[in-house]
Amino acid sequence: MTVPLDDTVADGPTIDLSLVRYRALDQKRRIGSLLVNPGGPGASGVDYVLAVGQSLPDEIQQRFDIVGFDPRGVGESAPVDCIDDLDPLFDAEWAPDNARERRDLVAEISRLVDACERNNADILPFLQTERTARDLDLIRIALGDSKLTYLGFSYGTYLGAWYAEQFPGNVRALVLDGPLDPALDAATVQVQQAVGFEKLLDGFLEDCSHRLECAFHRDGKAAEAYDQLRARIGAVPLEVDGFGEPRMLNGTQFDLGVTSLLYDGRASWEELGQTLNAVDEGDGEDLLYSADLYTGRISAGSYDNSLEAFIAIGCVDGPPVGDVANMRSIERAAAEEAPRVGRPIVNGSLACALWPVAAQEPRALHGTGAAPILVLGARKDPATPFVWARGLASELESATLVPVRSSSHTSFDSGNVCVDEAVIRYLVDLEVPARGTRC
């Protein structure tokens, strides 16, 4: 469908949004549409619904048309397209420990930012989630729904909160799973996320040290072995076979591959142990594959646009990170709190220090007057720490928070019966869990 690029200007340029719909299986009892955003920013809602729409809980499939859409700048919706080959960016060291590595990283980031500005100047100023939320309301109207029923994961919670802020009277039901807190400043966001991943990695290494069954047990010294392995790969990248092209696993890809696996929490620990053991024995294929999934690498010289969209949307959404020197101070703070993963996590946002479009300042979103909103927060979520769920739930005036005893990023449709039943009752019957409910 077609929407205005800038809806504050009459008769201005337009862009096309890509959508997909699975129709409700029980049309006689159909409630309406359920719009879904899988996160990112940069993840394709179209791809998500095509992949999992027909495996969502049966009651959801029966009662709702399940609709995925690519937000502006993402996938097939006026996608941001900067550089085809991002390999040089990941060849740089994202946890630099000397001046040369730091210069190389800033140079690669600068090259990417320059290409984004050169090739996307017409759309970069119009990618704020505040605008995407207005697109979301236009989609609701086009679908013929009087009010919005919405399921947002991770970044999708930020989109849902912006919708409630701008269109509180149009809210039927919003599930916000794995929330961001829009009121936080950049240093707080970066350091708290780094600590979230670090704590989960520390938990894995401690558990692995105590379990002989863990493939990376290393005589009860998994943490020391991990640090030695990371240092070795950072100094001398590992040649990797099995991709049909010459590949090397370097320190940056090591960190990204581990981070990618940690999104699944404890459920990934067995795989993480096996993957680290393989790297230690000279086989980096699985870890490099995990890094490729994380960065959207398709083949040599080819990436999807998820990382470029992540940067372009995230940098204008804010919060402002300041200049490169200020990002360096945030990196130091993160490294002190999270010595293993703090630096690469912070430097994943380094482009925002050079971005050509100003970032929005942080602000709490209240959704005053909106119908009840359901917020799900996993207690040990590494990517969006539980404190963010508490923050968003306290800021949204009609929100109910359900804490989830889990270490995975997001909770719905991941095997937790308590969560799934609560979400289904809320979406179908508008039954809000009683305050104090925990899963």
Residue 121 pLDDT exceeds 80: yes
Collapsing DSSP states into helix, strand and coil, what is residue 256? helix
Reported as a single tens digit per residue, the pLDDT across 364-377 is 999 999 999 999 99
Residue 299 pLDDT exceeds 90: no
Give backbone dihedrals phi and psi of 206, rounded to 5 degrees, phi first: -65, -45
- Give the neighbor-by-neighbor strand order of the sheet with 64-69: 19-22, 64-69, 32-37, 148-153, 171-177, 373-378, 399-404
The one catalytic residue among 286, 292, 409, 411: 409
Burial of 324 (0-12, 13-18, 19+ CB in 10 A): middle
Round to whole Å and give the CA distance between 157 and 160: 5
Round to whole Å and give the CA distance between 149 and 163: 11
Q: Is 409 a catalytic residue?
A: yes
Q: Is 366 a catalytic residue?
A: no
At 286, the amino acid letter reads: D
Which among 342, 307, 341 has a CA at the least distance from the CA of 87?
307
The one catalytic residue among 135, 181, 292, 381: 381
Q: Is 381 a catalytic residue?
A: yes
Residue 435 pLDDT exceeds 90: no
Q: What is the mean pLDDT of the chain?
A: 97
Reported as a single tens digit per residue, the pLDDT across 312-337 is 999 999 999 999 999 999 999 999 99
Q: How confident is the model at residue 244 (pLDDT cuts 50, 70, 90)?
A: confident
> What is the residue extent of each domain of the chain?
2-78+125-183+363-429, 83-114+187-301+325-350
Reported as a single tens digit per residue, the pLDDT across 360-408 is 999 999 999 999 999 999 999 999 999 999 999 999 999 999 999 999 9
Residue 96 pLDDT exceeds 90: yes
Reported as a single tens digit per residue, the pLDDT across 139-170 is 999 999 999 999 999 999 999 999 999 999 99
Q: How confident is the model at residue 242 (pLDDT cuts 50, 70, 90)?
A: confident
Q: How confident is the model at residue 106 (pLDDT cuts 50, 70, 90)?
A: very high
Instruction: Please enumerate in sequence order all residues whose Cβ is within 8 A of that of 137, keeping only pairs 6 or more positions apart, or say none.
Output: 148, 163, 166, 167, 170
- Return the CATH number of the domain spanning residue range 2-78+125-183+363-429: 3.40.50.1820
Which segments within 203-279 are labelled E, that is strand? 238-240, 247-249
The model carries a pTM of 0.97
Average pLDDT over residues 71-88: 96
The one catalytic residue among 77, 154, 406, 411: 154
Task: Please give the DSSP secondary-structure letter assigned to residue 11.
Answer: T
Q: How confident is the model at residue 134 (pLDDT cuts 50, 70, 90)?
A: very high
At 356, the amino acid letter reads: P
For strand 2-4 and strand 14-16, is the pairing parallel, antiparallel, or unpaired? antiparallel
Reported as a single tens digit per residue, the pLDDT across 205-230 is 999 999 999 999 999 999 999 999 99
Residue 309 pLDDT exceeds 90: yes
